[in-house]
A and B are shown apart, each in its own frame.
Chain A
Amino acid sequence: MAVDYLYYLRADKLPHMWCPGCGVGVVVKSMIGAIDQLGWEKNDTAVVSGIGCTSRAPGYMDMNTLHTTHGRALTFATGVKMAAPDKHVIVISGDGDATAIGGNHFIHACRRNIDMTLIIVNNNIYGMTGGQFSPTTPYGAKAATTPHGNIDPSFDLAQLAIGAGATYVARGSVDNARMVQKYIRDGLAHHGFSVIEVLSNCHTQYGRRNKMSDPITMVDWIASQVVPRNKAEKMSPEELQGKIITGELHRNAERPEYTDEYRKLIERVQAKQAARAGARP
């Protein structure tokens, strides 16, 4: 059945503030599709973000929405989730927001394995502030603050998430919206901390400086780099040079989830208390 997207959106807030052709639209649409597939109630779902273009997404979603400070979305979200463990919490963030200024919160949310989903729209640039390089800007690329080419090595966000302990990690790209929705759905359904990195286009700030100033050229460039995991497994290291592997990259259903652990801790403490009270004459 067709998804009624407007049911999940605050229609009166449209049109949105993103540039025409921005990849974030694919991600928001996929997110709504995934929520709809899972049958999550709008009242039971919180969408949290930090600062940046991507972080404007919650404002358009008709849910419990929280637009926080730069990089801190996961900290607020952790508070929301711990206070209401039976509710759904989704964080949507850009590459700079989630992994530069928010890098510490990112690795620790992964480590805790708290049942939330982080969607990172990775467009390799700080868009809103005018195109400065981010932790995922490719080597050699031009940005507002790398006029002579970028010399900073970049993060592999999915590998960072896996290393830090996230229990569901997938990477998709906006040229393949169907798979983005599948990964988001699987991440939301996963009981633990899930990270979905979505390679996206900022033709306005990144593309313009790197000979890809229209969205189609830039999405084609993304599509030319990605290789699905099953295909990559059959490729040699030489063939994989400069390629980015997409797909479900990690899943671990064994590690305990954090709010479950805290609930058990409360039960243990209260049982001890009750036993102590019972032992008193």
Chain B
Amino acid sequence: MSSGHSDKSEIVFWQGNEVVAEAAIAAGCRFYAGYPITPSSEIAAVMAERLPEVGGTFIQMEDEIAAMGAIIGASLAGKKTFTATSGPGFSLKMENIGYACMAEVPCVVVNVMRGGPSTGLPTALAQADVMQARWGTHGDHPTIALAPAYHREIYLCTIKCFNYAEKYRIPTMLLLDEVLGHLSEGIQVPDPSEYEIFDRVKPSVPPEKYFPYDSSFGDVPPMATYFEGYRFHVTGLNHNRTGFPTTDPEICQQEEMRMIRKVMKDAEQLAEYEEYRMEDAEVAVFSFGSTARGARVAVDEARKQGIKVGLLRAITLWPFPDRKIYELARQVKAFVVPEVNLGQIILEVERASHRDMPIVGVNRVGGVPIPPGEIFNKIKEVARDGR
């Protein structure tokens, strides 16, 4: 499977799923738990091969829920951990994703999106889990979700997901789609000098002075590791700074607000995007993931015909690039939003624009990529009629 173990300078030819696995190891991940599911299974296969080589642990669990539980447990015991899944598996993970949010346990969940709902189209493309990534688990909670579009970017975003998980003590999400997961592409593996590795902050105080949710150290409290003398308690119930359950309304509100604030106060830095030919654009195409590749082609074609159009490609979906959309809504006269679903992320563009303006979708759900021609036609239409 893995052609990997690469000499970093050479060009390797990897599937998106292999890129994720190799990048996870580069990020310091030493524990993977998973369950077989298409189209993300290659990630598990590479991890099963590679982890023992670096002294790490791979385990195939009895179901998706179990895999999610195992990576939380292993993270509490000090490992950087992740799991990968798709469609129905992502739904099953939601219970314990919420647990990791509530208990503030770092881990990474990769979702290689496929057609749905239900069993849907196991071997075909969709981008229809973007709202699930944000809101899938019950209750208010913070989310960081990255959606890269190119293999080198998948590598770097995978590492960022581990870094953000460790930095903010949350489960982070990496959203690929079936096309990116299975597409093989030549990449030069990024050199370690090109990225940072962030490890969770451990307590600086002795065990008797340690509280696992002590916000006097900031909105992201230092995290002790099991078996290192701290003997702390972890629960999915609302809890106070000591980690023990409470139903005190004031404390519950304060703690939940801290959980959201720890991410949202950095929302602008986290919300990465790429602008392409946007300088003088009057129409903005907003896209992400594999669809953005086709959107770029469409933008180039439209430019050839003299249409002033550019591409805003979101690399981070959550937190959403609110400010950028707000600003652009005052530069362009229309947005075109292609996505392989029936109109999910377009709702966020509408919300963030704060303006009554033409915002039109290009949507497909049949399991195939949106042809650049369809996006091109919509750009032309919008440029001509403004709708």
Contacts and interface: CB of A to CB of B under 8 A. Distances in A.
Interface of A: 13, 42-44, 46, 48, 58-59, 62-69, 72, 74-84, 87, 104-105, 107-108, 262, 265-266, 269-270, 273
B301 to A, nearest CB: 49
Contacts of A59: 233, 235, 244-245
A162 B53 CA distance: 34
Given A44-B227, A270-B53, A82 B31 contact: yes
A194 to B, nearest CB: 19
A59 B232 CA distance: 9
Contacts of A83: 31, 57, 73-74, 77-79
Contacts, number: 130
Contacts of A77: 73
A13 B244 contact: yes
A265 B244 contact: no
Contacts of A13: 244
B70 A262 contact: no
Contacts of A67: 233-237
B33 A265 contact: no
Contacts of B244: 13, 59
A156 B115 CA distance: 42
Contact of A79 (B72, B231, B232, B233): B72
Contacts of A81: 73
B265 to A, nearest CB: 28
Contacts of A265: 52
Nearest to A43: B229
A150 to B, nearest CB: 27
Given A75-B96, A79-B76, 11 more contacts: A65-B232, A68-B72, A69-B236, A75-B70, A76-B76, A79-B74, A80-B73, A82-B31, A87-B226, A104-B63, A107-B62
18 contacts: A43-B227, A43-B231, A46-B226, A46-B227, A67-B234, A68-B69, A72-B65, A72-B66, A72-B69, A72-B96, A75-B66, A76-B76, A79-B69, A80-B77, A83-B77, A84-B78, A84-B226, A270-B55
A62 B352 CA distance: 48
Contacts of B65: 72, 75
Nearest to A71: B65
A64 B232 CA distance: 6
Contacts of B76: 66, 76, 79-80
Contacts of A262: 57, 59
Nearest to A84: B77
B80 to A, nearest CB: 10
Contacts of A69: 69, 95-96, 99, 236
B71 interface: yes
A78 B66 contact: yes
B309 to A, nearest CB: 47
B62 A64 contact: no
The 9 closest A-B pairs by CB, nearest first: A79-B73, A75-B69, A79-B70, A83-B77, A76-B73, A79-B74, A108-B62, A83-B74, A67-B235
A90 to B, nearest CB: 13
A68 B105 CA distance: 12
B264 interface: no
B61 A78 contact: yes
Contacts of A46: 77, 226-227
B233 A58 contact: yes
B172 interface: no
Specify which of A72, A104, A265 lies most central, judged by the most chain B CB atoms within 10 Å of its CB.
A72
Contacts of B73: 48, 66, 75-81, 83
